[in-house]
Chains A and B, each alone.
Chain A
Amino acid sequence: MITKLANPNSFQKLSDKIYFPCLNLSIFFLVISLYYSFFASPPDYLQGETVRIMYIHVPCAWLSLSTYSLMAVCSFISIVFKHTLADIISRACAPIGACFTLATLITGSIWGKPTWGTWWVWDARLTSELILLFIYVGHIFISNAYNDRRKGDKNAAILTLIGVINLPIIKWSVDWWNTLHQPASISKFSSPSIDQSMLVPLFLMLISFSLFFTTLLILRIKSEIMIRKIEIIEFNQN
């Protein structure tokens, strides 16, 4: 089944089927979770209404990391098994991941000013997340830097695999070193240090952001497959 899916043509057929359900579901969940995060959840005992920034910030941060993980797996497959679809997915992921990372940094900064009293500090968590943004941007530049797309894909895959070292650093920076950024609230599922009334909108937001990510990803993969087909046709004509 995986080999069948990995064929760009059959993948495109499947993606046509799931694109609209994904889009509709993500809009549906986004409406519900926005209602929950703005109206149906309480303010925090310490931060007050500022806590609502978390409902955007945390899903963005999670997705910035999971998008990168997906890219890393694809880059590995691309280098070892030379599979075109893996390159296509990597290429489709990079700008989406970059946007999530940028949104994480911006919302975090807006939250940091009233809470910490500063827009930005160079602590381990914030710095490593900024480096993630640079890696994403680097990936976009490198993959488009060559006339031959395959060369760009290969070099971008190498960059992605080198940058994997940043993922555990971002994830555990708050536990390994003293940082201004607080440790994760949901590290233990049995007793999260976040009240249930705030956990519900957070999880709804995570679901809707993931669906939104899937929708964008399908759209970008489809267009990337088409671009490659056009290039092949053009190549054959000359």
Chain B
Amino acid sequence: MKAKTKRLLSLTSLMVIFAAGCAVIFYNLRGNLVFFYSPTELIEKENSISQKIRLGGMVKKNSVEKKMITENDIKIQKVTFKITDFKNEVIVSYKGILPDLFKEGQGVVVEGKLNDQKGFVALNVLAKHDENYMPPELKGLDLENGAN
């Protein structure tokens, strides 16, 4: 066998083995590589009280309630809303300023802890942007076929 063919074969087989090994590792790590859990996953997990986790999904329509409360003589905005994945939903409470893109019907990721009443206390709220880009005039038009 020529040295060139030998190198070609050994390098190709090494790369295939390496790729297969990585695939196995990532397949088994898939539960740990998610950035957030969906409400369904959170409810199935159950045991995660007191552990800091992230929860993501859609902000349920007409579920956002805002009120001002006074805590240590400082006025803070308290927000409660429901995060849904259209199968299950979790009630989230948050004190602080929301990102600009936080809207009902939009994606959101919250960071915080579950409390004992199956509610979620968020310490941090991140707005999730989806892959749809369009000018403002087209917004209404695209909502009918933009579901996919």
Binding site for B on A (CB under 8 A): 42-47, 51, 54, 76, 79-81, 114-118, 121-124, 161-162, 164-165, 169, 176-180, 182-185, 193-195, 197-198
Contact = CB atoms under 8 A, between A and B. Distances in A.
User: Which of A51, A118, A162, A183 has the most chain B CB atoms closer than 10 A to its own CB?
Assistant: A118
Contacts of A118: 124, 126
Contacts of B103: 46
Contacts of A183: 131
A116 to B, nearest CB: 5
A72 to B, nearest CB: 10
A44 B135 CA distance: 5
Chain B contact residues: helix, strand, loop or mixed: mixed
B40 to A, nearest CB: 12
A77 B56 CA distance: 44
Contacts of A123: 35
B131 A79 contact: no
Contacts, number: 113
A194 B4 contact: no
Given A117-B127, A123-B35, A177-B34, A193 B132 contact: yes
User: Which of B37, B124, B136 has the most chain A CB atoms closer than 10 A to its own CB?
Assistant: B136
Contacts of A44: 133-136
A73 B99 CA distance: 43
Nearest to B106: A46
A204 to B, nearest CB: 16
Interface string B33-51: 1111110000000000000
Contact of A80 (B4, B33, B128): B4
A124 B33 contact: yes
A124 B131 contact: no
User: Which of B36, B129, B132 has the most chain A CB atoms closer than 10 A to its own CB?
Assistant: B129
A80 B139 contact: no
B79 to A, nearest CB: 14
Given A185-B131, A195-B133, A179 B35 contact: yes
B30 interface: yes
Contacts of B137: 42
A115 B129 contact: yes
Interface residues of B, number: 42
A135 B38 CA distance: 33
A42 B138 CA distance: 11
A184 B131 contact: yes
B36 A178 contact: yes
Contacts of A177: 30, 33-35
Nearest to B136: A45
A165 B35 contact: no
Contacts of A179: 35
Interface stretch (B15-23, B62-70, B113-121): B15-23
Given A80-B7, A165-B18, A195 B134 contact: yes
Contact of B22 (A114, A117, A165, A195): A165
Contact of B133 (A51, A81, A117): A51
A137 B131 CA distance: 30
A180 B128 contact: yes
B8 A80 contact: yes
Contacts of A194: 131-134
Nearest to B99: A117
A37 B33 CA distance: 35
A197 B106 CA distance: 23
Contacts of B8: 80
25 contacts: A42-B137, A43-B135, A44-B134, A45-B135, A45-B139, A54-B133, A76-B11, A80-B4, A80-B7, A115-B99, A116-B99, A116-B127, A117-B99, A117-B126, A118-B124, A118-B126, A123-B35, A124-B33, A124-B35, A180-B56, A185-B132, A193-B133, A195-B133, A195-B138, A198-B133
